């Protein structure tokens, strides 16, 4: 599913555009100013996709260590000099724009991870532990912002990637037991509202007008949409502002209320097709580095998607994870399109090989 024009993988781009348009329809019904900003973010992200789809990933491979160290420095600078908003320091203002680097760095850190795994032969505990040790400063700096959602996304993406590439199960069991031991320490770093959300999710507390409010209103919005929805711009939960963060964390609930079960199903099926295309790219690549990167990308996007949808329907705790390609936000949108650009570059590589073999 490629075009000779710029050699773009349309199997990646088309479902992403469909998801963006669905998100724009929901954002338009919420706030016209946000809609205009998201259109600009979308245009910039498309340019990012085209640019990185023409890139040679092996050039980035040679600078993987620099990317990793640079990412740590950037995240450290965010904590020192970042802009505080709602108790979190996740953004840096630059030339009139506000960038969230925990999002923007994702595709580049996935490249660094893929390089490290591909260059290590064997599946020893030493290698497993070294990879987790490399992840720790990234996880901890994002956790301190505090951005529990993205910190967990990084963590589970790495673990799932290691599991996919046949690291022994006993390593993961050991890691889980170790995490339990360190959990009391991590708990002390959580903000009060984060603790409340976790306690409420696990049914240790019920607070319908306080910390439970977001989850309850989201479930009401999803359920009230029924089969065909109330129509764009007609969602009472979002229009009357009962639903918080209706353009970001709870965009799925917004669209489910307005477009109903059918709208939610379209989002799920479109995203599933995108993930399927990524799996195809991974399977078609005979280079371990490229295959690992594709698998990392698959787990990164699928973990974000499942977490966000789970938050919206009450199956996951609310940890502040956006819905890829759908939620409002320039940093997340740009990051995801850069990721797809890299994947399109991989697709272009094995297509060239097929042409040579035919000749």
Per-residue model confidence as pLDDT tens digits over 100-140: 999 999 999 999 999 999 988 788 999 999 999 999 999 99
Instruction: Kindly report, residue by residue over 63-98, the tens digit of the pLDDT.
Output: 999 999 999 999 999 999 888 876 778 889 877 778
What CA–CA distance (Å, rounded) separates 119 from 117?
6
Cα(334)–Cα(325) distance, rounded to whole angstroms? 9
Residue 1 has a pLDDT of 52
Matching residue, tokens 């973990």: 303
Mean model confidence pLDDT for the chain: 89
Instruction: At 297, list the tokens.
Output: 């990308």
Instruction: Please choose, from the candidates 311, 312, 318, 280, the residue with its C-alpha nearest in 3D space to the C-alpha of residue 297.
Output: 280
- Per the CB < 8 A criterion, the answer to whether 79 and 141 are in contact is yes
pLDDT tens digits for range 246-268: 899 999 999 999 999 999 999 99
Residue 157 tokens, joined: 């993406």
pLDDT of residue 300: 98
pLDDT band at residue 193 using 50, 70 and 90 as cut-offs: confident
Residue range 130-153: mean pLDDT, rounded: 93
């Amino acid at each position: 599913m490629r075009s000779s024009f710029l050699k773009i993988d349309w199997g990646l781009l088309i479902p992403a555009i469909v998801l963006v348009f669905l998100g724009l329809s929901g954002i338009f019904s919420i706030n016209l100013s946000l809609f205009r900003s998201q259109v600009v973010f979308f245009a910039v992200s498309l340019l990012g996709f085209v640019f990185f789809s023409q890139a040679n990933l092996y050039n980035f491979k040679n600078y993987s260590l620099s990317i990793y160290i640079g990412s740590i420095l950037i995240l450290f600078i965010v904590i020192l000099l970042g802009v505080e908003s709602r108790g979190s320091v996740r953004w840096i203002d630059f030339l009139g724009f506000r960038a969230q680097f925990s999002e923007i760095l994702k595709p580049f850190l996935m490249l660094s991870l893929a390089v490290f795994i591909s260059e290590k032969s064997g599946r020893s505990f030493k290698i497993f532990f070294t990879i987790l040790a490399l992840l720790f400063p990234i996880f901890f700096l994002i956790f301190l912002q505090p951005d529990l959602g993205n910190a967990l996304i990084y963590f589970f993406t790495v673990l799932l990637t290691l599991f996919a590439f046949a690291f022994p199960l006993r390593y993961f069991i050991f890691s889980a037991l170790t995490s339990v031991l360190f959990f009391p320490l991590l708990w002390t770093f959580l903000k009060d509202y984060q603790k409340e959300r976790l306690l409420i999710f696990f049914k240790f507390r019920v607070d319908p007008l306080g910390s439970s409010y977001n989850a309850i209103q989201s479930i009401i919005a999803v359920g009230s949409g029924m089969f065909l929805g109330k129509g764009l711009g007609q969602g009472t939960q979002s229009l009357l502002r009962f639903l918080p963060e209706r353009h970001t964390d709870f965009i799925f609930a917004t669209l489910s209320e307005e477009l109903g079960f059918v709208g939610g199903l379209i989002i799920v099926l479109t995203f599933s097709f995108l993930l399927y295309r990524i799996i195809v790219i991974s399977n078609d690549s005979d280079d371990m580095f490229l295959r690992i990167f594709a698998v990392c990308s698959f787990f990164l996007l699928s973990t974000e998607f499942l977490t966000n949808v789970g938050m919206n329907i009450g199956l996951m705790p609310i940890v502040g994870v956006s819905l890829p390609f759908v939620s409002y936000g320039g940093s997340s949108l740009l990051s995801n399109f850069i990721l797809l650009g890299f994947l399109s570059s991989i697709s272009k590589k094995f297509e060239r090989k097929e042409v040579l073999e035919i000749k």
